[in-house]
Each structure stands twice: as C-alpha cells, then as structure tokens.
Amino acid sequence: MISVPDEYQFSQKHLLGLADYSRDDIAYVLNQAERFREVLDRPVPKIPTLRDKTIVNLFYENSTRTRMSFELAQRRMGADVVNFSASASSVSKGESLRDTIQNIDSMKMDMVVVRHKSPGVAHYLTRCVDAAILNAGDGAHEHPTQALLDMFTLQQKMGSLEGLKVAIIGDIAHSRVVRSDIIGLQKMGAEVTICGPSTFMPLFPETLGAHVSYHLEETLGWADVAIALRIQMERQSDVPSRIPSLGEYHQEYGIKMEHLEMFPDLKIMHPGPINRGVELQDAVADSDRAFILDQVTNGVAVRMAVLYLLSGSIEAESSSRGTASERPSN
C-alpha cells in the first residue's frame, strides 16, 4: 500500500485525465485496486458493490482490451451495463454527440465510460450530463485508466514507483497512453524518458515534461522498465513519409532478445495491441521479462477500483447502506 495522509478524502467525481488527479488521489486509487485484485483471485470473483448502478459504455472507436476490461469490471461488481457502439446507433443517421449523451442521460444512467477520437470529449460530456464520466481514451490526449494499470503493475512487480526509471518507446506524437503515463509516473516519483524517431515525436517533445532520447540502446541501458508503443496507423495517413518501412523501424526501435541479453534487469510492458515484429520481437513479448498479460489482468482490478470510487460507494458505506460482503476486505 502507498501511504496517504490520515485526513485524506477522495473527492473526485470524474476520471477525465490524470492531470486532474493529485499524487494522493492516484495513490488512493492504486490502494483500492490492490484490494480488488484480491477479489479477482477468489473462486467466485464477484462483489455486488455496484448492484444499484447503471453504466453505459459509449465507444466511438474500436477497442478490445479497454472495452472488455471495463465491462468485466462492471459486471463483476453487479452493475447493469449498457453497451453503445457508434456504428450500430443513430450516430450513423447524423445524431450529434450532445443529443446522444443527453438521450442516454434521460434514461437515468449513473456513469458513462467514453472513448472518442476527439481530444476533450470526456470534459465536454461533464457539461452535458450529471452522470460520472470516465475517460477511456480521447484521441491522442489521455488514457488515464491505462496509466493507472501501468502504475499498479509496476508497483506490484517492481516494489515501488519512487525513483523508478521508465522508458516509453515508439510513436510518442500520436499516443494518448504516453501523456497519461508521464503525468502519473512523475506525480508518483518515477523518472520518465521518451524515445523514438524524430518523425514520431511531437513538435516540441520537451513540453511533455520527460527526458527525450532518439537512441534506443542508450535509453534501454538507462531504464528499469521499457513500455513499447505501437505505431498509431489510424491517427495518421502519412506513415510511409515518417519511416522508410516497418522493417527498418523494427531494426532501429524494435526491442529484441539481444536487448534483453544486453540489459539483464530490463523489464518490458506494452498497452496493446502489439504489432509483433515491429515494436517488439515475438520472443520478447512472450518472455518472462514481459509484464504484458499482468497489465491486462490488473486493468480489471484498476477499473473496478475507479468505478467503485466514482460510484459514491464510499458515501454509501458511511451511511451504513452497504454490508461487509459488498466491499473488498481491508
């Protein structure tokens, strides 16, 4: 558990990005995630903490891990779950985002999990509805639950975030994960270096607040953990003008077994989906030095913790409306 002040109280209504969360907020979420991770190891990994809540998953972009992880977290906590897909909705008939969310809100939803291609959509929705809003990724802006599960996995595997050296390697310019990771890791005392070709860096990479490198081996030698990012093909139409080929990118910036042999203490992470043979060699992704599947499992626990905290369950506990069987054990 990460220490937080005795007088601390979690008071966030939404999770729009980690820029809005303090160090204590993040620590408290990670501590709650530890309790929910224990729930997942039970023979029946369910806890009816959200049985009186209705949650809509509002996904305007494709997703596998994030959508399934949120839905599994919601169902394991007893929530009523409504899944929304833009391609199978009135969005295809021209309905605006504002009209969509206000119609959904009129059906008395308690929480909305939203993924959208446009940065700032989660913030916008807070002005349209009263429900708690959880950002599941807004364009290339933020992906806060991914950063939280990354930090939870690092804490679980490495023991502490304080002083940890984390390298984030790949398509920095178009990644929403990198922004949330940098914000969260630095608030928790870790050092972060971003590394990639100059064509995959933002115009002013130093404004992200991390060290900047263009040399893979030098960066891997510095790092305790390397988080590899895929090339965001869907956010750019000019990939061929940015790199000669995917093969050459792999040669210059792909993490290979020779790197694990060169740096025997280095650990590997990836937010998924992996483009094998591009950012990671097959053997690296499947090695016991990779925490990738741990990230997936921990993602469910982290999202359970966030849903729990934003649902108002703490207030429900304080007014004695919950029972001990409905809460993760301390």
**Residues recorded for the chain:** 330
Q: Are residues 119 and 131 in the same domain?
A: yes
| Catalytic residue of the set 143, 187, 250, 327 | 143
| Catalytic residue of the set 66, 100, 145, 219 | 66
137: domain CATH number is 3.40.50.1370
| Catalytic residue of the set 93, 108, 207, 323 | 93
Q: Is 65 a catalytic residue?
A: yes
Q: Is 46 a catalytic residue?
A: no
DSSP bridge pairs for 56: 82, 112
Nearest CA-CA partner of 73 in 181, 172, 148, 171: 148
Q: Are residues 137 and 199 in the same domain?
A: no
CB distance 310 to 15 below 8 Å: yes
Answer yes or no: is 9 within a domain: no
Answer yes or no: is 308 within a domain: yes
167's enclosing H/E stretch is: strand 165-169
Per-residue pLDDT of the chain (330 residues; tens, 9 = 90+): 899 998 999 999 999 999 999 999 999 999 999 999 999 999 999 999 999 999 999 998 888 899 999 999 999 999 999 998 766 556 665 778 888 888 888 888 999 999 999 999 999 999 999 899 999 999 889 999 999 999 999 999 999 999 999 999 999 999 999 999 999 999 999 999 999 999 999 989 999 999 999 999 999 999 999 999 998 766 555 655 677 788 999 999 999 999 999 999 999 999 999 999 999 999 999 999 999 999 999 999 999 999 999 998 445 444 433 444 455 655
Q: Is 93 a catalytic residue?
A: yes
Q: Are residues 156 and 92 in the same domain?
A: no
Q: Are residues 130 and 218 in the same domain?
A: no
Nearest CA-CA partner of 165 in 154, 149, 180: 154
Answer yes or no: is 247 within a domain: yes
DSSP bridge pairs for 148: none
165's enclosing H/E stretch is: strand 165-169
Q: Are residues 44 and 133 in the same domain?
A: yes
Q: Are residues 157 and 282 in the same domain?
A: yes
Claim: this prediction has a pTM higher than 0.75: yes
Task: Determine the straight-line distance between the first and last CA of the chain, rounded to whole angstroms.
Answer: 11
CB distance 67 to 59 below 8 Å: yes
157's enclosing H/E stretch is: helix 144-158
Answer yes or no: is 169 within a domain: yes
Answer yes or no: is 2 within a domain: no
| Catalytic residue of the set 115, 187, 250, 303 | 115
Answer yes or no: is 321 within a domain: yes
Answer yes or no: is 7 within a domain: no
Per the structure, the count of domains in the chain is 2
Report the C-alpha gap between 116 and 130 in whole angstroms: 19
Q: Are residues 248 and 300 in the same domain?
A: no
Q: Are residues 148 and 138 in the same domain?
A: no
Q: Is 193 a catalytic residue?
A: no
Q: Is 115 a catalytic residue?
A: yes
Q: Are residues 191 and 232 in the same domain?
A: yes
Q: Are residues 136 and 198 in the same domain?
A: no
Report the C-alpha gap between 1 and 32 in whole angstroms: 9
CB distance 202 to 227 below 8 Å: no
Answer yes or no: is 307 within a domain: yes
Q: Are residues 209 and 317 in the same domain?
A: no
Q: Are residues 204 and 220 in the same domain?
A: yes
Residue span of the structural domain in which 225 resides: 144-292
| Catalytic residue of the set 65, 157, 165, 242 | 65
Q: What is the pLDDT of residue 70?
A: 97
